[in-house]
Structure 1
């Protein structure tokens, strides 16, 4: 066990509630900071040697994230991070006329989406039913071609191989936000690791005791005195709590990171409207992510249950061939992996975020993460669940302290 706590003056009161947080990713750090700001005594356990979870940025020549990790400015976490000066410098968004966003439709690259898809964006999210799948509802609104193109486009915010099969309300909300102009998505300069570093520093200054290299396999083995917030993946929470009911669907995605020498004319992004897939050149916004004269690109290819990693890599390479001709001859580095169940919750027809595993698990145990019962898009779910978990935990802890002192 490695204890990274340092001695600080001041800090929480001896009689303040104790909160234990398991997991040092975005949800865990949000929970730790939120609790510490109220004066609680917080201990955070992280299995890895560094904090960040899926929000880590790789160290080395090519600064990649585990996924795109865009920071959407339409959610409450944006305001919370800004108020605490945790976002830091943002990579500038390229001018629309210079982004070279291309859409793969009917086998060729196009500059504009189908008109029917644009018409669908005018529908309010409240018009999309929860009970019906997106493809059926959207086809009734604008026809099959526009519906299918929209379903494939929204894979950038769902990481699912068939978004059309999901709840119409769930998909349409993400479609409108992913296609919004000006874009809601922003990218911290240097990758998400810069945000994590600022959050970790704030947690330290607030008196959070951080213990890295401390893997928690069971709640029974976790030393704690007071409420516990489990801010891990749902699979890890299932193991820690021994609760097989902690289940919810997520995506399975091939991630292909490549770096190659710069050449004029490469697309900024390619969205596959014939299937699901997205390619983005991150150095178009942030040149610090790769050495001078090189471009860093990531392809995200959602996989169906019968597809393999190799299938995803082949589809990614096809989109790269279209958007960045000759990239193979310019290649300097590449990496491929599969993100399985690590891309947020997916709501089937007839379900909403309220049907996901509840935050309050009873017995002073609370869940936080991107697959639990909280609203929002991607990392917003982690944030909202973390804040709610701490609110519930502190309410219970203070009631217990009051009853004890009385």
Structure 2
């Protein structure tokens, strides 16, 4: 294989580009936006925010891959004494420690949970209804779904187990994920990858000089339009994202988890003060909302949590924004389904699909990474097989 084309310059697209270029392939990458990154893009300006909270889990395959290439960069570690600032909203009150049953549930290995039973039913059986509700709500930090209890027990328990691990698996890129994107882009260019930004591709036939395999690394709805394949769908969460900059005040918690309903509020400047100007702190909240709920419903939930944990936050607010993230929060698996049932990576005819809603294992960004590496691997194997068949015919 001599050439490869990649559509989409987010985390998945850049991973695929680097992997292919390291194998000696000539890669051209097209990105519709004027900057790379996709959902890993960090906003410009005084507040270095991403589209929702962005963590990287050290238990995933991408951690080792990035570290080996010097791409992980400097992390923003959370000191243990700061981690003690985690608060829990439970039974209508703010608490410093979660219920004991909840802690026990988070320690259960995912392998104990069945695939074909919903999490609420299984967790109620093994731990009781109160623990099932609290555990399902907490898992929202890694699910972005309004009703985690209705999803596959195995799917939810894996994310619950990893999100609540101690010491924490979750880490943060200092300066935001945009720094990671910049390092990946520099690596890709150094390997000879041609990157074309502000280059929207609406049909595969529109690709200039398209030769060799094509990897589509866009959001699933965009991929469905590009490939003209309406079957490319999978359920995802719908979430209200609220970003706030507050004047600094001692006593604010590091994070606040709602155990009565899925919701999470985090002070990201606790571990990385560079994300906001001096004297200010950056707060990010993500609250899943159901199909009949509005943006206002989600914001009202955020404000109730802020009232509980961040005294005088309204008077201290110096900047604020809110948005709804629809279908852009990764795949969620219903009972009886696993990652293997999601849209396949190999679409046939030399076209491959990657991203966080396709048939690849992992949590959050790990799905994008794993699918990207798998797509390049399949493309290389397919090219070798084709070359052997051509030689045999000759």
1:297 paired with 2:283, answer: yes
CA contact (8 A) 1:256 1:313 kept: yes
Which 5+ residue runs of structure 1 have no aligned equivalent?
1-15
- After superposition, the CA RMSD in angstroms is 1.0
> Take 1:94 and 1:322, find their aligned partners in 2: how far apart are those partners?
24
State the Cα distance separating 1:96 from its structure 2 match.
4.2
- Which of 27, 44, 65 aligns to 1:59? It is 44
Aligned to 1:210: 195
CA displacement at 1:87 relative to structure 2: 1.1
Measured in 2, the distance between the counterparts of 1:276 and 1:258 equals 19
Partner of 1:35: 20
Q: Secondary structure at the match of 1:260?
A: strand
- Find 2:69's aligned residue among 76, 84, 95: 84
Counterpart among 4, 7, 29 of residue 44 in structure 1 = 29
Aligned residues: 391
Please give the per-residue CA displacement for 1:210-255, whole angstroms capped at 9, x wherever unaligned.
1111111111212311100000000010000000110100000000
1:346 matched residue in structure 2: 332
The 5 A counterparts of 1:39-188 are 39-96=24-81, 99-188=84-173
Match of 1:362 in 2: 348
Whether 2:320 is the aligned partner of 1:326: answer no
Q: Which aligned pairs between 1:365-380 and structure 2 lie closer than 5 A?
A: 365-380=351-366
Separation in structure 2 between the aligned mates of residue 53 and residue 257 of structure 1, nearest angstrom:
18
Q: Which residue of 2 aligns with 1:242?
A: 228
TM-score scaled by length of structure 1:
0.95
SS in structure 2 at match of 1:342: strand
Alignment of 1:244-283 (within 5 A): 244-283=230-269
Distance 1:317 1:184, change over 3 A: same
Q: Which residue of 1 aligns with 2:367?
A: 381
Does the 8 Å CA contact 2:52/2:285 hold for their aligned counterparts? no
> Which structure 2 segments of 5+ residues have no match?
none
Which deviations, in whole Å up to 9, do the C-alpha atoms of 1:335-375 show, x marking residues without a partner?
Answer: 00011011100000000000000000001000000000000
Report the alpha carbon displacement of residue 45 of structure 1 after superposing the two structures with TM. 0.4
Is structure 2 residue 376 aligned with structure 1 residue 390?
Answer: yes
CA distance in 2, matches of 1:391, 1:220: 24
